[in-house]
Amino acid sequence: MPVANIQVSETPLVLYALRRADDALILGHRLSEWCGHAPMLEEDMALSNIALDLLGQARELYTYAAKAEGKDNDEDKLAYLRDVRQYRNLLLVEQPNGGFAQTLVRQFFYSAFADLYWRAMMASRDTTLAAIAAKSEKESAYHLRHASEWIIRLGDGTDESRARAQAAIDHLWAFTGEMFAVDEGECALIHADIAIDPGSLRGRWLTTLSGVVSEATLELPQTDWMQQGGRTGRHSEHLGHLLSELQSMQRTFPGQTW
Amino acid sequence: MYTQALSTTETDDRGLEDAAKAAQFQARIDAEERIEPNDWMPAAYRKTLTRQISQHAHSEIVGMLPEGNWITRAPSLRRKAALLAKVQDECGHGLYLYAAAETLGTSREELVDAMLAGKAKYSSIFNYPTLTWADIGIIGWLVDGAAIMNQIPLCRCSYGPYARAMIRVCKEESFHQRQGYEIVLTLCRGSDEQQAMAQEALNRWWWPVLMMFGPPDATSQHSDTSTKWKIKRFSNDELRQKFVDATVPQAQYLGLTIPDPGMIQDADGHWPYSEIDWTEFKQVLAGNGPCNRDRLAARGKAHDEGAWVREAAAAYAAKRARRQTAQAAE
């Protein structure tokens, strides 16, 4: 008997924490799919390491979302008992691993943003978010370095790796716009200095990308069309499959302690 | 994780070596000195250790697969993080052990190729499937428990790099074992369904775990040289009995039944166990276990699909080196 989905009272602050928690969990989950299957043992280690950092961020953010909501939810209920339409992550992070190039390009796009984002969030007036930011910023800086080095190696490696890296960039580019979008609720948090305006990071994010991509002899697409929807629960088809795996135990054996 | 006692020693070829050197070498071993990579050693010692350490490394890497099977389905975020960290540790052990094996003169690539070609063995325990979440607990508790039993004596192995690797590996393994035991304990304190899940997993894993200690002493060949060289310090049966003796009270505490009816503690405090089905063991070693093909296929797929990445990394490193040389020449 599958257990019903929980209901979450998505106040602006709850929703804000939930969105970032979902980003971290879903991307961490994707990276964890590599464990035991990476191109070299060093990357099994590195991708697992990054996944663990993201999982840690997700747990702190879920716990904070649950606390801000003030009901009987907790990190596990938030992760395991919401359906695809209740998930609030970016479309970018739910995209399948594809090959190594696609995984690393996805990571590069996200980490280049996360690095700037968490650094800026250290100044949040919300002390919990500021503390999570301080820890996440250090982790993101490493994630970005790792991804950037790989983009350069793949781009400036062989013809094959260059083609694969460029194809991944072209494929994932349309999912990057969502990182910089805000809705009304977030605007209020930005005005209250609890959140930062992600739009203000876009210029620096592009500078980071351009630097690495040009050293890698690759190119950023010229298209402006961006996919949206993750933040309001309109996901790609991929997320449902990910969740059915992630949540299978909690759905099969409802209400038990593990 | 662990390599089982399936290493056989190479034929003693000291006749071809300098007898004086061999005597000196044995004297050092007898004096409990550590042999280091640059020291003289008999060719058979080198070969035996290369095989044993690389089998151990392969076991760590293949061992990532059965547990990795549950990373994406772990039932809570805490369990997910702990399992991912654990499997990552196994990978670290593999890397560490390949490095130890490389000090004997064979490269990681050659060792991995031998494994992928089915020429090198890994612990047969990883050819069994992880069917339920309880398997993750049982593996930590019993498979890692058996591994520790085998590896603690290896911390005093005569070959320095292997002994030092084992010290670190054992520390992490005992953490894994506690974690596994705690998973099983949670199940045993949980619902009837969870208790049944734990018991069912124990039923499947018990005998394969006992096989991890290798063939019975009566049929085990060539272990005298390994003993003389102080690579091996206890016999397969001694370690197996020690493991059973330590595990029975733990199972009792958990309220689980070991699937060996009628076990009675003897006057010396040991728990004698029934005859092990060595036919199954031989079949699994011969490649006919439930997952042998899947495990090798998964490692082969990761290796093949990653080839272009490794080539790209090598090509980039070569380009960069050329550029640096060119710059230096300017």
Query: Does B72 sit within 8 Å of A245, measured CB to CB?
Result: yes
Which pLDDT belongs to residue B8? 45
Mean pLDDT of B252-268: 96
- Name the residue among B68, B183, B186 with its Cβ closest to that of A36: B68
Average pLDDT in chain A: 97
Question: Nearest Cβ partner of A39 from B133, B298, B310?
Answer: B310
Mean pLDDT for A223-227 is 92
More confident residue, A214 or A1: A214
Distance CA(B47)–CA(A223), nearest Å, equals: 59
Which residues on chain B are in Cβ contact (under 8 Å) with A56?
A: 81
Percent of chain A with pLDDT over 70: 99
B220 pLDDT exceeds 90? no
Between chains, do B68 and A99 touch, taking CB under 8 Å as contact? Answer: no
pLDDT at B18: 79
Checking if the pLDDT of A227 tops 50, the result is: yes
Question: A residues 175-234 near B, CB within 8 Å?
Answer: none
Q: Name the percent of chain B lying above pLDDT 70.
A: 94
The predicted-structure confidence for B92-122, as pLDDT tens digits, reads as follows 999 999 999 999 999 999 999 999 999 999 9
Residue B32 Cα, gap to closest chain A Cα (Å): 34
Give the range among A58-67, A102-111, A122-131, B218-227 with minimum mean pLDDT: B218-227
Which residues of chain A from 90 to 129 reach within 8 Å of chain B, CB to CB? Answer: 99-100
Average pLDDT, stretch B201-208?
98
**Residue A134 and residue A126 in contact, taking contact as beta carbons nearer than 8 Å:** no
Q: What six digits make up the tokens of A245?
A: 């795996």
The residues near B145 (Cβ < 8 Å, ≥ 6 apart) are B177, B180, B243, B246, B247
How far, in Å, are A36, A208, B298 from residue B301 at the CA level?
11, 34, 5
Instruction: Over range B36-64, report the average pLDDT.
Output: 96
Distance from CA of B9 to the nearest CA of A (A): 29
Number of alpha helices (DSSP H) and beta strands (DSSP E) in chain A: 11, 0
Distance from CA of B121 to the nearest CA of A (A): 18
In this predicted structure, the answer to whether residue B7 has a pLDDT above a threshold of 70 is no
Chain A: residue nearest B134 by CA? A258
Q: Is the pLDDT of residue B20 over 80?
A: yes
Contacts of B218 (CB under 8 A, 6+ apart): none
What is the mean predicted confidence (pLDDT) over B113-135?
Answer: 96
Q: Which residues 141-180 of A have a C-beta within 8 angstroms of B?
A: 152-154, 156-158, 160-161, 164
Sign of CA dihedral A250, A256, A257, A258: negative
Q: Which residues of A touch B188 (CB under 8 A)?
A: none
Q: Do A160 and B71 touch (CB under 8 A)?
A: no
Average pLDDT over residues B220-226: 73
Inspect the interface and report whether the beta carbons of B80 and A55 lie closer than 8 Å.
yes
Q: What is the pLDDT of residue B264?
A: 95
Does the beta-carbon distance from A158 to B315 stay under 8 Å?
yes
CB A201 within 8 A of CB A113: yes
Asked whether the predicted pLDDT for residue B219 surpasses 50, the reply is: yes
- The pLDDT of A244-256, averaged and rounded, is 96
Q: Which residues of B touch A29 (CB under 8 A)?
A: 72
Residue B10 pLDDT > 80: no
User: Given phi > 0 = left and psi -120 to 50 = alpha, else beta, which region is A152?
Assistant: alpha
Cα nearest neighbour of A56 on chain B: B81
ipTM for the complex shown: 0.97
Query: Which chain A residues are closer than 8 Å to B305 by Cβ?
Result: 39, 99
Q: Is B64's CB within 8 Å of A33's CB? A: no
Query: With an 8 Å Cβ cutoff, are A39 and B298 in contact?
Result: no
CB spacing of A161 vs B308 below 8 angstroms: yes
B268 token code pair: 């010396």
Q: Answer whether A157 sits within 8 Å of B191, measured CB to CB.
A: no
Q: How far apart are the C-alpha atoms of B126 and B291, rounded to whole Å?
A: 8
Phi and psi torsions of A131, nearest 5°:
-70, -40
Q: What is the pLDDT of residue B16?
A: 55
The 10s digit of each residue's pLDDT in A3-29 is: 589 999 999 999 999 999 999 999 999
Q: Do B186 and A258 touch (CB under 8 A)?
A: yes
Q: Which chain A residues are within 8 Å of B133, Cβ to Cβ?
A: 249, 258
Is a pLDDT exceeding 80 seen at residue B3?
no
| pLDDT score recorded for residue B330 | 80
- For residue A87, pLDDT beyond 60: yes
Distance separating alpha carbons of residues A20 and A22, to the nearest angstrom:
5
Q: How far is A19 from chain B (nearest CA, A)?
A: 17
Question: What was the pLDDT predicted at A2?
Answer: 47
Is B255 a residue whose pLDDT tops 90?
A: yes
Q: What is the pLDDT of residue B17?
A: 57
The beta-carbon neighbor of B312 closest among A48, A153, A250 is A153
- B192: closest chain A residue by CA: A256
* Residues A50-74, mean pLDDT to the nearest whole number: 98
Chain B neighbors of A249, CB-CB under 8 A: 73-75, 133
Partner-chain residue, chosen from B80, B94, B313, that has the shortest CB–CB distance to A41: B94
